[in-house]
Chains A and B, each alone.
Chain A
């Protein structure tokens, strides 16, 4: 049953990975504006797709 120590530790590490992903998302500005992207995705990119949208 000693595998419990490892398994619980491992599950925590996985969970921490998701937490880190969330922190990264916040820090890269994905939560700064949660409104405009919802409008932007409805636009048709006729001749405007020469630039790729990219989060700064």
Chain B
């Protein structure tokens, strides 16, 4: 049957195509009543500017029921823990609003005071997607503020983690300070070293030369004590755990440089190497700064706490009260309303439970639970209110323990890094060489022995070596981020480079559910009937309903009455005197899932009945994501592939040809099965990359060497992972993997270059001929060479791969 799906016009608020039109007096068109409300509200407050600032700024306001959703924000104990600051006349809060996406959003959010009284200051931090609000608690409340935001489509993300008082990360400020100080001292020390560079110390007044030298000591002190503190701390920590990281030779080099130079200046009246010292620290810190590029708007460490409600309704002495989730204990009596998440493993006491576990298993079919049976945390109730007895605290629940499973101890990470592997032999190497030089010189001239030995340590300080990794990986990290592949930190690239086994999740990763327009099967529908169905569907928030609402031929002016929605079953309404039902087979009076025989793989259906007569159904098939065949065939050339799906085998026939011969396609995998399978592969020595999207993949993503979450929308929740990739950037995955492998090659070349410079310096140092000027030239030159080489090489490669 043909699909009469022509987008009539686009919504004036959100820009989505509209079906049955909803107009306002000025003739603007909307896709739903929610959008119209926001539009009218904005114009009412003289904020129409919103629509002119950015393209498509509007957000569909989510369905929320003001009576219950945010009641917990009135709770004093919750308020105390959420607010940053609170007094009788002013309170301050930071809210995370992942939906903000353009300059219009910033403008509207900073003009919130047009809607309510009592907002003193609203400020947006766009990179972090946060809004900080100062309000007057006597004139407005946090709940009103949050409800206002939600009604405008900017529902803030209020999570349990915020209760723990997580303060924004300020470490970037400290790093700026350290870099600035090192740069300042570097410049001044160089100026003061000019007499030495130009060989003027012999001709000019020795008092000035000495004065300058003393000043350089003074200027180097803060560099050693403050700017390079991080290197010392990390070196000591590494030493304690018997892992020689790159910071060990750096800390050693800085110490020797400072002691040797101070001795030279104070005891011998010579120049010292203070300029090299400051320059070294400055360049190294620049490398750190470069590496610290973060995607603050994305959250890579989500766990159940980010997804779960912040507070729940429990019975306390016969009354229903709100209590924050972390105070929920086994034995509490819990109330769960329609659409709410079950926060802890519990036993059903009363109510008709229809639990949607799609959050954890990926299966969209809801499960019916009887009184006395177990309900697991993570399910969502559809239907009436439930009473539950909590069996386990949220953090002890069956599925949450899966998400909390930690992949690997953080230190193991350090060992995989190429730079740290190199430093394992580099450090003993230079210490050995310095000792050998000292001993050899001791036989010739005991005075030169100290000079030569320290000169070896000074020149071998692996500045360029330490810069190769941050600049190579940092550059690639930026390139990938610009192209929709966001990695948690540049270090992930190194782990990505030696992956040899790639596993995909099915639903949401390989296939896209509901992406295709619904197709009608059954007795033909008249045009008016289609319009009526579209009108009915436009009143539902169910994901399957919205494609139907665009079904109408022309925008007839029919009215809908008697709308009702029965969760888990379907919707009903009267249009032009005819009763229309959409929903499950039972709801519409079709023979119970009668046509299962001709059910296509992974097909979902919405049945239709008009005036109680079953007519047919709309079917939605999941489609294979665009470009995925190409990705898989190009990855298959180099990597072992596999697929882990929670669904039934029904799609094996469709997927097998895409993956080709000998690829393991595993169906009916529980979240635990997925994790266990990857752990088994890892135990066999495979280096796995898991690509998945749902929380049912959370365990697998965390145990894989690299776990990448696919997301349609940056603002949406994604499970903890090493990287987040936008669905439309998925075709670039093969390029990203290729670049990751090559970037390791670039690092190796840079290591070679920097070792070459070191060898040149060492040639002079072991002979006791290293002059401060030579050191002052050689060290920055080697650093600059490495930085230029790595950034240029990576940018060229990225461009050749077609990244922009």
A interface residues with partner B (beta carbon < 8 Å)? 1, 4-5, 8, 12, 15, 19, 22-23, 26-27, 29, 31-33, 35-36, 39-40, 42-44, 46-48, 51
Q: Counting chain A CB atoms within 10 Å of each CB, which of B121, B173, B211, B215 scores highest?
A: B173
B115 within 8 A of A: no
CA distance A32 to B176 in the complex (A): 10
CA distance A29 to B113 in the complex (A): 24
Say whether A33 contacts B125, CB under 8 Å.
yes
B113 contact set on A, CB distance < 8 A: 48, 51
B172 contact set on A, CB distance < 8 A: 31-32
Chain A's nearest CB lies how many Å from the CB of B278?
A: 14
Say whether B173 contacts A4, CB under 8 Å.
no
Number of inter-chain CB pairs below 8 Å: 64
Chain B's nearest CB lies how many Å from the CB of A34?
A: 8
Say whether A47 contacts B46, CB under 8 Å.
yes
- Given contacts A23-B180, A44-B49, A47-B46, is CB(A33)–CB(B211) below 8 Å? no
Say whether A33 contacts B215, CB under 8 Å.
no
A33 contact set on B, CB distance < 8 A: 125-128
One of B53, B127, B176 near A35 (C-beta < 8 A): B127
Task: List 8 A-B residue pairs with CB atoms under 8 Å apart, sorted by A's residue number.
Answer: A8-B212, A19-B184, A23-B177, A27-B173, A39-B106, A40-B106, A48-B111, A51-B113
Say whether B205 contacts A1, CB under 8 Å.
yes
CA distance A26 to B188 in the complex (A): 21
Say whether B49 contacts A5, CB under 8 Å.
no
CA distance A31 to B106 in the complex (A): 18
Say whether B126 contacts A35, CB under 8 Å.
yes
CA distance A8 to B219 in the complex (A): 13
When A and B form their complex, which 5 residue pairs have the shortest distance between CB atoms, in order from nearest? A36-B126, A33-B125, A39-B103, A26-B176, A19-B184
A8 contact set on B, CB distance < 8 A: 211-212, 215
B interface residues with partner A (beta carbon < 8 Å)? 46, 49, 53, 103, 106-107, 110-111, 113-114, 120-121, 124-128, 168, 172-173, 176-177, 180-181, 184, 188, 205, 208, 211-212, 215
CA distance A39 to B168 in the complex (A): 22
Say whether B173 contacts A31, CB under 8 Å.
yes
Chain B's nearest CB lies how many Å from the CB of A21?
A: 10
Chain A's nearest CB lies how many Å from the CB of B195?
A: 12
A44 contact set on B, CB distance < 8 A: 49
A22 contact set on B, CB distance < 8 A: 180
Chain B's nearest CB lies how many Å from the CB of A23?
A: 6
CA distance A49 to B342 in the complex (A): 46
CA distance A44 to B47 in the complex (A): 12
B176 contact set on A, CB distance < 8 A: 26, 31
CB-CB nearest in chain A for B192:
A8
